[in-house]
Each structure stands twice: as C-alpha cells, then as structure tokens.
Structure 1
Amino acid sequence: MILHQRFIELGEGFGDIFELCELISTNSNRLHKTFILSSVTPAGLALSFAAAFEPANDSNFMPIYICREGILQQGSDKSKRRMLFEETAEKTGSIPVYIELKNSSEFAERDLFYHYVTGILRLNHLLPPLR
C-alpha cells in the first residue's frame, strides 16, 4: 500500500546526475521506473531525469528523485549526461520512459508542477495509484 509519493529534487548540474545514477545503482532492487521528461523552452528542449523507487522496508512512501530541467538538448544528438543516465538505468534493467510535459516555468508554484507530473504518470499507469 502506497500512501504518499513525492518528488525530491537533487539539483540540475552534472554532479547531480552522478548522484541520481548512484541512487539507481545502489538501490536497483527498489527501482520502480526511470523517466526522461522533456519540455520546450525558448532556449531549446529542457530535459529532466527522474527515478521512482519502491517504498523502503515497511514505509508507505514512494520517493521520486529528479534532476529538473537542467540539461538542454540541442538538435537530435544525445548529451553525455543523458547517455550516462540511460546506461545506468539499462544496467539495472530499466528502460527510461520518455514523456513530453509543460515546462515548470508555466506553473505559479513548483508544487503545482509536481502535482501535474504525478497526475500524468498515474494516468499512464507509470506510478501506482494511492491507496
């Protein structure tokens, strides 16, 4: 039974991608799904990388760690950060789900953005419903 799902921001920089990849590697037994979330910005395509984990032990909390909109993709070439994230996920048996979203700047508050993302993930059965 999952009672609570929450996004936990790690940051936007290159070191944060390493931290997210380390979380995926060291908690591969709890990994639920990985995501690449994209949004269009005036500067180009902004990518977010996220990983959802099953609750630890007997808790009812499902964490979703995210590096939000920190990587800009120019053209069709994948960045080294994206390749690192995809390789790490695939080593644990997870193929990242690619989803196009509105940019977080379109929301008055960051919490509203995360409610929007959570709703889309649940509607597409990528996150379990709350019980």
Structure 2
Amino acid sequence: MQKFIQIGDGYGDIFEMEALIQYNHQRIKSGIYLHTEGRPSTFILVMAPVRGNFQALYTVFQGIPMTSKHKQKYKIINENLEKYNIQKVEMSTRDPDDFYAREQYFQYMLGVLRLNNLIPPLT
C-alpha cells in the first residue's frame, strides 16, 4: 500500500525534506518532480516499502517554484539527491485542479507512477 504524506508549509517543507533525505537516504528509491504548466511543481520522495508492504511517498505539494528567479528549493533538493546518488525523475502531469479533491489527484498519480514502474504494483 502506497500513501502520500504531505510535509510542511512555506519554507519549513524544504528543511523537513532535506532532513528526510539526509537521515533516510539508504531507504529512498527515487525523487520525482511533477511539473504542471504555470504552477509550482510537486516533489515526491519515494521510500522503500517497509513492514506490511507500506510505502511512504513524502510530498511537497505544489511547493517547488520553477521560475528562474525562485528555484532555490529545486536546487537544494537536487543537491541532496546528487549527494546520496538518488535517482531523480521529472515528468509533466495533469493540473491537480482538474480533480474534485486532492485525494483523487493522488489516486491518479499512484496509477501514473505504477504504470511508469516508479512504484511497485498493488499486491
């Protein structure tokens, strides 16, 4: 079972994500950026499954600005991914506003990530 876990608001999210990468880098499968045109990107930190096949997907939801002037969060995350040799994936997705609720968007993204073999299939 995969579960999206949203972390932080404002600048706190980047520091929490940085700590997750530094202290759990051996459990991390990949870092995934979900880009939507004209909006800040979403970042997902995919952890290895643990007991009972639970897999955490730590998320900074639409909190990574991609304008050339505001890419500091993007830079910090990428530096940490490179430091620990963690695979980085970038992809474009549908706008979360296309969905009635954020949970529906997350269900859609689980399907997209499974189809692209970025997370394991349901068992």
Question: Deviation of residue 39 (structure 1)?
Answer: 0.6
With structure 2 as the length reference, what TM-score do the two structures score?
A: 0.91
Specify the code of the residue in structure 1 equivalent to 2:25. Answer: S
- For residues 80 and 92 of structure 1, what CA distance do their matches in structure 2 show? 19
Q: Give deviations 1:78-104, integer Å, cap 9, x for gaps.
A: 701100001111111113100101121
1:22 lines up with 2:16 in the alignment: no
Matched, 1:118 2:115: no
TM-score normalized by structure 1?
Answer: 0.86
The question of 1:72 aligning with 2:69 is answered no
**Which has the larger share of helix?**
2
Which runs of structure 1 show a deviation greater than 6 angstroms over 4 or more consecutive aligned residues? none
- The RMSD of aligned alpha carbons is 1.6
Greater RCO, CA 8 A, separation 6+ = 1
- Unaligned 5+ segments in structure 2 are none
Deviation of the 1:54 alpha carbon: 0.9
- 1:12 is displaced (CA, Å) by 4.2
Percent identity between the two aligned chains: 32
Distance 1:32 1:110 in 2: 24
Q: Going by fraction, where is strand more abundant, 1 or 2? A: 1
8 Å Cα contact 1:9-1:68 kept in structure 2: yes
- Structure 2 CA distance for partners of 1:24 and 1:59, relative to 1, 3 Å: farther
- 2:74 match: 82
State the match for 2:45 in structure 1.
51
Aligned-pair distance for 1:27? 0.7
Unaligned runs of 5+ in 1: none
